[in-house]
Amino acid sequence: MEQKRTGLSYVFTLAKEERGKLSLGMLLAVFSSALSFGPYLVVYQILLLIIKQEVTLPAMLGWAGIGIAAAVLQAILTSFAGICSHTAAFNTMHRIKVRVLEHMSKFNLGFFQEHAPGQIKTTLFDDVDRIETFLAHSTLELAQAIVVPLMMFIFMLRLNWIMALIMLVPMILGIAIPMALMGRYPDLTDEFAGDTEKLNASANEFITAMPVIKMYHLTAEKFEQYRNSLKIYTDCWIKMCESSCNPLSIALVVLDSAILFTLPVGGWLYLRDSLSAASYLLFILLTMCFFTSFLNMVTIAMQSMELGSGLDNVKKIMDMETMKSGQQTLSQTGCYGIDFDNVTFNYTQGGKDALSDVDIHLEPGSLNAFVGPSGAGKTTAVQLLGRYWDVSSGTIKIGGVPVTELQTENLSDLTAFVFQDVFLLEDTLLENIRMGTDATEEQVRQAAKAAQIDDFIMSLPKGYATRIGDEGVKLSGGQQQRISIARAILKDAPIVVFDEATSYSDIENEHKIQLALQNLLRGKTTIMIAHRLHTIRNADKIVVFQDGRVVEQGTHDELIASGSTYSHMWDTYTRETIGEE
């Protein structure tokens, strides 16, 4: 059978830095459990005194004092054990979350397209939180559930081996019955974890797509999708309950009625003079607490089955290969050419090529434009340059160095992308431009000035301290793009990729963006994904994409003179724009 479940050992591997605290917590928990027998032993001793008719006030007070001291010590040890396990669990949770996030940040974009945000969230929060709960609580219970019954069993064996073995009968039945009847439970917990992910993903999609859903009256259909996920989730939950309720109830009843085994056998042994009255009483008392501590084991077994599928998800992510970083670096102050050598790429293995045999050479410091109909491969080409994805075959080079051989951070330093979709952090405008760099406020302001957005920011009551999202500040598409240009100016990367907006809200905005661009692109090697052809008439090179291939490249005049694809596009474009005017 395929070894699929990751098991408890993986939890302890994840918590390896906290093993000291966890072990101490478990040790203290075992001592505290051992002390929980204090009251029973005190009762036993008092019964002995009664049987022997030796009851005296000092003896009674002495035993009562011992009982109280045991209870106080037990409370103290329990609390210290909890502190140890909770600290270890929180530290581990924090460490796993950071590690998973760091690991994910090294994947290329494909991972995030294949996994819905809801799915990722489930792993990052719900699954990891379950590990935390397990470490904080179940490890202590696990130690208690194993060590305490074992200690008691050894003690009972020494007292009377027949009675000790009789006590094992309900325990064996309590384990065997659920194991025999719950064969499907582990599979169901896996299925449940998958259904939870799907439910989260569709809830997330539903909420994210709310504006479109409302606009197109898709509510019913979308609800349908959410309702379906919810139904599958609920059905699976019911199946899990059905599969576990009966076996567990039987096991609980068997364990709870353990006294029915020890009482008659003990009575029989007592009548045959093989068991003293005191030992008989002690066995009756111990039967009760033996099974309370053993019951914990059943609960932990259930929790660890549920933990298993969450662990699988965490392990799957941690085992995924990250994008391999190269070793070489290029100076950020240099000026570099770009080469696409015979590049082919498809998003899905065996699927249609999004780019086929693309060959492009762009001179250092040149202004270049990628043009072509929608879906022709322009965005894919520039994203391959930034290693958002890795090529299927061929090579992309910056300054003669393949991008795969550059250190990941260096590649990021060398390139600045200004896309139409601007991602804004829920933070101040200052931090939205600074983007984690150590630029001073003055440098941020200079960049914002060059990006023609400083005037707008200064007109806000809180200026650069204005937070995006709240305080009623909403940025127009043009303003967002200028923020994005300011970021790129501040980054001062030698290569700039600019995705021109398909429409501008007004002439003033367009004018400001043109000015901002002039400041951004000065002295850089630039690729502009252009939609409005008049903006790139002066480009050093225009590369024409069609259906994943480069069909033409050259200057505007050369391409017009050739009378081919670009010149037709130009004709259509000029007719449409003149028509608009």
- Give the whole-angstrom CA distance, residue 417 versus residue 524: 13
Burial label for 37, CB within 10 Å (0-12, 13-18, 19+), is buried
- Give the whole-angstrom CA distance, residue 252 versus residue 210: 47
Tell me: does residue 386 bind ligand ADP (CB under 6 A).
Answer: no
- Least distance CB 109 / ligand ADP (angstroms): 8
Between 490 and 559, CB nearer to ligand ADP: 559
Tell me: does residue 347 bind ligand ADP (CB under 6 A).
Answer: yes
- Least distance CB 113 / ligand ADP (angstroms): 5
- Least distance CB 386 / ligand ADP (angstroms): 13
Between 29 and 497, CB nearer to ligand ADP: 497
- Least distance CB 375 / ligand ADP (angstroms): 4
Whether 473 and 527 have beta carbons less than 8 Å apart is answered as no
- Give the whole-angstrom CA distance, residue 330 versus residue 272: 92
Binding span for ligand ADP by CB under 6 A among 48-56, 207-215, 378-386, 473-481: 378-386
Tell me: does residue 379 bind ligand ADP (CB under 6 A).
Answer: yes
Residue 51 tokens read as 């049987």
Tell me: does residue 368 bind ligand ADP (CB under 6 A).
Answer: no
Hey, how many other C-beta atoms are within 10 angstroms of the C-beta on 579?
7
Binding span for ligand ADP by CB under 6 A among 46-54, 226-234, 377-385, 424-432: 377-385
Tell me: does residue 380 bind ligand ADP (CB under 6 A).
Answer: yes
| All residues at 6 or more sequence positions from 455 whose CB lies less than 8 Å from its CB, including other chains | none
Tell me: does residue 374 bind ligand ADP (CB under 6 A).
Answer: yes
Between 65 and 375, CB nearer to ligand ADP: 375
- Least distance CB 506 / ligand ADP (angstroms): 25
Hey, how many other C-beta atoms are within 10 angstroms of the C-beta on 502?
9
Between 109 and 173, CB nearer to ligand ADP: 109
Q: Which of residues 94-113 bind ligand ADP (CB under 6 A)?
A: 113
Whether 363 and 540 have beta carbons less than 8 Å apart is answered as yes
- Give the whole-angstrom CA distance, residue 256 versus residue 179: 18
- Least distance CB 520 / ligand ADP (angstroms): 21
Which of 21, 198, 378, 512 contacts ligand ADP by CB under 6 A? 378
**Residue whose tokens read 């002995």:** 48
| Exposure string over 428-442, b if 16+ CB within 10 A, otherwise e | bbbbbbbeeeebeee
Between 255 and 354, CB nearer to ligand ADP: 354
Q: From edge to edge, which strands make up the β-sheet containing 401-402?
A: 355-362, 338-345, 393-398, 401-402
**SS3 assignment, position 301:** helix
Q: From edge to edge, which strands make up the β-sheet containing 415-418?
A: 415-418, 495-499, 525-529, 367-371, 541-546, 549-554
- Least distance CB 581 / ligand ADP (angstroms): 26
- Least distance CB 354 / ligand ADP (angstroms): 4
Residue 457 tokens read as 């920011």
- Least distance CB 453 / ligand ADP (angstroms): 26
Tell me: does residue 354 bind ligand ADP (CB under 6 A).
Answer: yes
Which of 149, 372, 394, 494 contacts ligand ADP by CB under 6 A? 372
Tell me: does residue 396 bind ligand ADP (CB under 6 A).
Answer: no
Binding span for ligand ADP by CB under 6 A among 3-11, 190-198, 376-384, 390-398: 376-384
Q: Which phi and psi angles does 558 have, rounded to 5°?
A: -60, -45
- Least distance CB 351 / ligand ADP (angstroms): 8
Whether 556 and 534 have beta carbons less than 8 Å apart is answered as no
Tell me: does residue 377 bind ligand ADP (CB under 6 A).
Answer: yes
Binding span for ligand ADP by CB under 6 A among 127-135, 298-306, 374-382, 536-544: 374-382
Binding span for ligand ADP by CB under 6 A among 239-247, 283-291, 367-375, 410-418: 367-375
- Give the whole-angstrom CA distance, residue 1 versus residue 505: 62
- Least distance CB 432 / ligand ADP (angstroms): 26
**Residue whose tokens read 């990722």:** 120
- Give the whole-angstrom CA distance, residue 549 versus residue 10: 48
DSSP annotation string for 337-388: -EEEEEEEE-SSTTS--SEEEEEEEE-TT-EEEEE-STTSSHHHHHHHHTTS
Q: Fill in the per-residue mask, 540 to 559: x = in contact with ligand ADP (CB under 6 A), - = not in contact.
A: -----x--------------
Between 85 and 379, CB nearer to ligand ADP: 379
Between 379 and 415, CB nearer to ligand ADP: 379
Of 205, 200, 186, 204, nearest in space to 312 by CA? 186
Q: How many residues bind ligand ADP, per CB under 6 A?
A: 12
Query: Which stretches of the chain bind ligand ADP, using CB under 6 A?
Result: 113, 347, 354, 372, 374-380, 545
